């Protein structure tokens, strides 16, 4: 099965696209600050899922899934800062929080299914 068929990959791509969309309206002064950090964190989530999947081993996949979890956590913090600094509307904040929670749930479920003894 190609990585593109993994639900966690699809949801992480969707999250990344949403991050790009909402950060388009951030102040220009954040171009090298939160905009850059949020976009890099968002891209890192799906990129590490893809890289880990290509390793074709449980150990390699788990390693990169854990990196994805870290990037997801970073993005969660960056979204909160963006909201508290009034760069994000309440609507966009709720949207991103929902997508972050979805990716977190599916990512954690995937990790648990891999480490579960057969």
Digit-coded pLDDT (tens) for 60-71: 999 999 999 999
Give residue limits of the domains in the chain.
3-115
Tell me the average pLDDT across 74-86: 98
**Residue 118 pLDDT:** 60
**Residue 73 pLDDT:** 98
Q: Sorting pLDDT into bands at 50, 70 and 90, what band is 2?
A: very high
Instruction: Give the pair of three-digit tokens for residue 61.
Output: 């996949």
**Residue 56 pLDDT:** 85
Instruction: Give the pair of three-digit tokens for residue 42.
Output: 């968002």
Domain 3-115 sits in CATH 1.20.1440.60 = yes
pLDDT in tens, 8-31: 999 999 999 999 999 999 999 999
Angle between helices 34-54 and 7-23 (to 10 degrees): 160
Tell me the average pLDDT across 67-82: 98
Q: Is 117 left (phi over 0), alpha (psi -120 to 50) or beta?
A: beta
DSSP output for 56-68:
-SHHHHHHHHHHH
Closest CA to 47 of 72, 81, 20, 23: 72
Mean pLDDT of the chain: 96
């Amino acid at each position: 099965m190609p990585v593109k068929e993994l639900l966690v990959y699809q949801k992480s791509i969707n999250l990344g696209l949403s991050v790009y969309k909402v950060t388009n309206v951030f102040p220009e002064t954040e171009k090298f600050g939160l905009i850059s950090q949020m976009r890099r964190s968002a891209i890192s989530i799906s990129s590490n899922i893809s890289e880990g999947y290509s390793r074709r081993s449980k150990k390699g996949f788990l390693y990169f899934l854990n990196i994805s979890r870290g990037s997801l956590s970073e993005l969660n913090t960056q979204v909160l800062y963006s909201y508290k600094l009034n760069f994000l509307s309440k609507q966009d904040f709720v949207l991103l929080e929902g997508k972050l929670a979805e990716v977190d749930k599916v990512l954690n479920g995937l990790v648990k299914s891999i480490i579960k003894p057969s």
